[in-house]
Copies of this chain bind each other. A is one copy, B any other.
Amino acid sequence: MSDRRTEIVRAATRVIARRGVRGLRVGELAAEAGVSTALIYYHFTDRAGILRETLEFIGERADRYTAEPDHENAAKDPRAELEQALLLELQNSAEVRENSTAWGELRASAVFESGLREDLARATHTWVHEIAELLGRAHPAGTAPAHAASAERLTALLEGLSIRWLSGSLPLDHARRLLGEAVDAEMADCRAAHR
């Protein structure tokens, strides 16, 4: 991918985080990227193509984001690594906000645009799988299917908490506490005997 395409996709991510997928105007994207609208259409087929590649980029970046191991913790404490991997996405930094907002927009858009669903489902699956692996290392007593289910619950909960935070229904520190407690609950041994 050329540098220009990458620049434009990154600019599109910023615009989406600011205005939403629905609010992205090709003109505003051009201004954000510092190019003309015509150049956008030289590099991408149409608005839907911009969206497709940008949302793909968001999905991939979210992967890398989660996948990057924090080696300090990795060796010492897999449980801390797990908790950190999840809480990483509930932070009031510009970068995390942008990421979370864009991801939420990707999710919400896919409800109405079936073309986005395949990529989204794949990115979701990759993410869930990574969390399940962390769970496996942090909690070797559990079975693989139990870890898979826990990972699905924890990531879905994180998405739910994240949008409540971003939509002003839940303070950030409260969301972080709720998520931390959920991690503890999923790792408690008594769960294994249940169901």
Which positions in A face B, CB cutoff 8 Å?
Answer: 19-23, 101, 104-105, 107-112, 114, 116-117, 120-121, 124-125, 149, 152-153, 155-161, 163-164, 166-170, 174, 177-178, 181-182, 184-186, 188, 190-191, 194-195
Contact = CB atoms under 8 A, between A and B. Distances in A.
Given A107-B167, A124-B164, 8 more contacts: A108-B163, A111-B166, A121-B169, A124-B169, A153-B157, A157-B157, A157-B160, A159-B160
Nearest to A158: B160
User: SS class of chain A's interface: helix, strand, loop or mixed?
Assistant: helix
A142 to B, nearest CB: 13
Number of copies: 2
A104 B108 CA distance: 8
A114 B166 CA distance: 10
Contacts of A168: 110, 114, 117, 120-121
